[in-house]
Amino acid sequence: MKVLYTAEASMQGGRDGQIHTADGHLTLNLSVPKEMGGPDGGGTNPAQLFAAGYAACFQSALLLTARRQHIDASVSTVTAKTSIGPSGEGSFGFAVELHVFIPDVDQETGAELVRGAHKVCPYSNATRGNIPVNLYFEEQPLAI
């Protein structure tokens, strides 16, 4: 792989600490979600950061895929839902749902665009075969 960009972030304090990027553009306080025994509020968490990154990356892949087919997806929305839970023997795992909405695009075309984005998205390529990723177009589940 030819590297085009490398992001760098440093964390102190784990899930109850602070993360910041080397360029200074992002500094966030993190906290354990209430559902996992943490306090109510006070910061974001790694699962939210993963969902935000995946949604942004998938949206870009969707726009690229749509542009290649001369389809306007500029008002599309991608919502990523990242779930975390025990996966056995004391370890934890992720599962992801990607919900895509593209106004004025029929089900067949939308499903094709979503599947195409899933093929080129770096997050999808990184997670493929490692965690469950379920795709939806207009709330209809798609076979991958």
Q: Which domain holds residue 93?
A: 46-142
Whether 94 and 32 share a structural domain: no
CB atoms within 10 A of CB 143: 7
pLDDT digits (tens, 9 = 90+) for 79-119: 999 999 998 889 999 999 999 999 999 999 999 999 999 99
Whether 92 and 105 share a structural domain: yes
pLDDT for residue 14: 87
In degrees and rounded to multiples of 5, residue 22 shows phi and psi of: -60, -30
Count how many domains the chain has: 2
Strands 9-12 and 18-21: antiparallel
Whether 111 and 94 share a structural domain: yes
Whether 96 and 111 share a structural domain: yes
Whether 50 and 34 share a structural domain: no
Nearest to 54 by CA among 2, 130, 1, 110: 130
| pTM of the predicted protein model | 0.92
For tokens 């991958």, what's the residue? 144
Q: State what percent of residues in the chain have pLDDT above 90.
A: 85
pLDDT for residue 10: 97
**Residue 104 contacts by C-beta under 8 Å, 6 or more apart in sequence?**
none
d(CA 71, CA 101): 14
pLDDT digits (tens, 9 = 90+) for 28-73: 999 999 888 888 767 899 999 999 999 999 999 999 999 999 999 9
Question: Looking at residue 13, which CATH number applies to its domain?
Answer: 2.20.25.10
Whether 102 and 50 share a structural domain: yes
Whether 6 and 69 share a structural domain: no
